[in-house]
C-alpha cells in the first residue's frame, strides 16, 4: 500500500464514521479497526499500531463526554494527534548553525540512497548560503567515490576521497580536517552501506564515528524497507548515536509505513524526505503538514513556503499594488508563469495543496 493509499484508507474510515447518525463506541471501534488494518498493511510495526489504538480510546472516553460535545471532531483530533505522535519523538534533532563547522555523518543500509541524499543535503544548504563539503568514506563499494565526485562536481560542492586508500577512518579524518581548515561549515561524511548482520562493517562505522566525532548522525532509510525497518534502524542506533532520519524514495510505490517504525526505533525525528533522483527532489519534513496531507487535508504551510521561495518577500507588496490598480500587464503574467514553473513539477505543487 503506497502512502497515498494509506491516507485514502484513513480518511475513508473517518468519513464513514462521520456519516453515522450516532457516534458511539461501536462506530469508533469500527473506525479504529479500519485505520489499524490500513497501518498494518503499510508495514507500520504492530506494537506501534496497538499503542495508538489504546491511546485514542483513552482520549475519547464516551462516559466522560457530555452531550453536545462534537464527538466527530474529538475523534478526528485524537487520530491526528496520535499519528503525529508516532512520527514525532518529542525532541528536535541537532541543527547545524551556518558559519560554525559541523560534521554530519550519513549511515544506512546498502542502496538506501545515502550518496544521493548526501549531495541533496549539501545542495539544499548551499542554496541557503552555507559552505558545505562532501567526504567519501565509502571504500567498500567500487564506484562510490566516482558517484559522489560526479554529484559534487555537478553541484559545485568541494569533495574529498581516494581511489588508493582502503581505510575509511583515515579518509574520513583527513577529509574532515581539510574542510575545517577551509572554513566549510557543513562537512558531510558519506559511509558505505551495511546490514545489521555485517558485524565487521558495523564496527568500521563505529570507528569512523569515533574518529570524526560527528555533531549529527543521520540514518538514511529507503521508504520501501517495510517491516524490517524497526530492527535495522535499532541496530544502527545501538552502534552509533543516530540523531535524525531521512527517508528516501517517497516518490516510488513504497508502503512508507516503515518510516513510522524507524522513528520509534531510533527515537529520532525525520528531518527530510527524498522524492526523486534529482538533486532538488528533497523536502524538509514537518510532522503536522505531513499528517494533514496523509489525511487529505492538504499542506497549506508547505504551499505557502513554496510561494515565498519563488516570489521574494520584497517583491510581494509591489505585485499586490499593481494587481489592485488593475495594472496586470503581459510582462507580469510572464513573470508569474515563470514563478509557477520555479515551484517545480506541477504535480508536486498539486500534491501540496489537495488538488490531486
Ligand atoms: N526515485 C528515487 N530514487 C532515489 C532517491 N534517492 C536515491 N535514489 C536512487 O537510489 C539508488 C541508490 O542510491 P545511492 O545514493 O547510490 O545509494 P547508497 O545508499 O549510497 O548505496 P550504497 O553506497 O551501495 O549503500 C540510485 O539509483 C539513486 O538515484 C529518491 O528519493 N527517489
pLDDT in tens, 68-110: 667 777 888 888 888 888 888 888 889 999 999 999 999 999 8
CB 276 near ligand 1, within 6 Å: yes
Ligand 1 atom, smallest distance to 220 CA: 19
Rounded CA-CA distance 233/60 in Å is: 32
355 pLDDT tier (thresholds 50, 70, 90): very low
pLDDT at site 131: 96
Model confidence at 349: pLDDT above 60: no
From 2, 105, 112, 116, mutation site for ligand 1 pocket: most ligand atoms within 8 A of C-beta: 116
Contact 27, 17 (CB under 8 A): yes
Q: What is the mean pLDDT of the chain?
A: 83
Ligand 1 atom, smallest distance to 192 CA: 23
Comparison of pLDDT for 336 and 137, the residue scoring more: 137
Instruction: List strand residue ranges (DSSP E) for 95-161, in order.
Output: 102-108, 132-137, 159-160
From 111, 198, 251, mutation site for ligand 1 pocket: most ligand atoms within 8 A of C-beta: 111
354 pLDDT tier (thresholds 50, 70, 90): very low
Model confidence at 298: pLDDT above 50: yes
CB 110 near ligand 1, within 6 Å: yes
287 pLDDT tier (thresholds 50, 70, 90): confident
The CA–CA distances, whole Å, from 326 to 317, 329, 334, 339 equal 14, 9, 16, 20
DSSP-derived secondary structure for 224-239: T-GGGHHHHHHHHHHH
Q: Which of 34-48, 62-76, 126-140, 249-263 has the highest mean pLDDT?
A: 126-140
Q: How far is CA 340 from the centre of its chain?
A: 24
Instruction: Give the pTM.
Output: 0.78
* % of the chain with per-residue pLDDT over 70: 81
Ligand 1 centre and the CA of 245: distance in Å? Answer: 15
Name which of 134, 201, 143 is nearest 172 in CA terms: 134
From 107, 108, 113, mutation site for ligand 1 pocket: most ligand atoms within 8 A of C-beta: 113
The arithmetic mean of pLDDT across residues 277-294, rounded, is: 85
Ligand 1 centre and the CA of 115: distance in Å? Answer: 7
Contact 175, 137 (CB under 8 A): yes
The arithmetic mean of pLDDT across residues 205-218, rounded, is: 96
Name which of 226, 212, 267 is nearest 245 in CA terms: 267
pLDDT at site 1: 42
Amino acid at each position: 500500500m503506497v502512502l497515498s493509499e494509506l491516507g485514502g484508507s484513513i480518511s475513508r474510515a473517518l468519513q464513514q464514521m462521520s456519516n453515522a447518525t450516532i457516534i458511539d463506541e461501536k462506530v469508533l471501534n469500527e473506525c479504529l479497526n479500519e485505520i489499524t488494518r490500513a497501518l498494518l498493511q503499510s508495514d507500520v510495526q504492530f506494537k506501534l499500531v496497538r499503542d495508538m489504538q489504546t491511546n485514542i480510546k483513552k482520549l475519547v472516553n464516551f462516559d466522560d463526554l457530555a452531550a453536545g460535545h462534537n464527538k466527530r471532531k474529538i475523534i478526528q483530533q485524537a487520530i491526528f494527534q496520535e499519528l503525529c505522535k508516532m512520527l514525532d519523538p518529542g525532541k528536535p534533532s541537532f541543527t547545524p548553525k551556518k558559519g560554525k563547522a559541523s560534521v554530519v555523518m550519513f549511515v544506512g543500509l546498502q542502496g538506501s540512497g545515502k550518496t544521493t541524499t548526501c549531495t541533496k543535503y549539501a545542495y539544499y544548504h548551499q542554496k541557503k548560503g552555507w559552505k558545505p563539503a562532501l567526504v567519501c568514506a565509502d571504500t567498500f563499494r567500487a564506484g562510490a567515490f566516482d558517484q559522489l565526485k560526479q554529484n559534487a562536481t555537478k553541484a559545485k560542492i568541494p569533495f574529498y576521497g581516494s581511489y588508493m586508500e582502503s581505510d575509511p577512518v583515515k579518509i574520513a579524518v583527513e577529509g574532515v580536517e581539510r574542510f575545517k581548515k577551509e572554513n566549510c561549515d557543513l562537512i558531510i561524511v558519506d559511509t558505505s552501506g551495511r546490514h545489521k548482520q555485517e558485524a565487521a562493517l558495523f564496527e568500521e562505522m563505529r570507528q569512523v564515528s569515533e574518529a570524526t566525532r560527528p555533531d549529527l548522525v543521520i540514518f538514511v532509510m529507503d521508504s520501501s524497507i517495510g517491516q524490517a525497518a524497526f530492527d535495522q534502524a535499532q541496530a544502527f542506533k545501538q552502534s552509533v548515536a543516530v540523531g535524525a532520519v531521512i527517508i528516501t524514495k517517497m516518490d516510488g510505490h513504497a508502503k512508507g509505513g516503515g518510516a513510522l517504525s524507524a522513528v520509534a526505533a531510533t527515537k529520532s525525528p525525520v528531518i527530510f524526505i527524498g522524492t526523486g533522483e534529482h538533486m532538488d527532489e528533497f523536502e524538509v519534513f514537518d510532522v503536522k503538514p505531513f499528517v494533514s496531507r496523509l489525511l487529505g487535508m492538504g499542506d497549506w504551510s508547505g504551499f505557502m513556503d513554496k510561494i515565498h521561495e519563488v516570489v521574494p518577500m520584497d517583491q510581494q507588496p509591489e505585485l499586490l499594488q499593481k494587481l489592485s490598480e488593475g495594472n496586470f500587464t503581459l510582462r507580469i503574467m510572464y513573470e508569474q508563469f515563470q514563478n509557477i514553473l520555479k515551484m517545480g513539477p506541477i504535480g508536486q505543487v498539486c500534491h501540496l495543496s489537495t488538488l490531486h
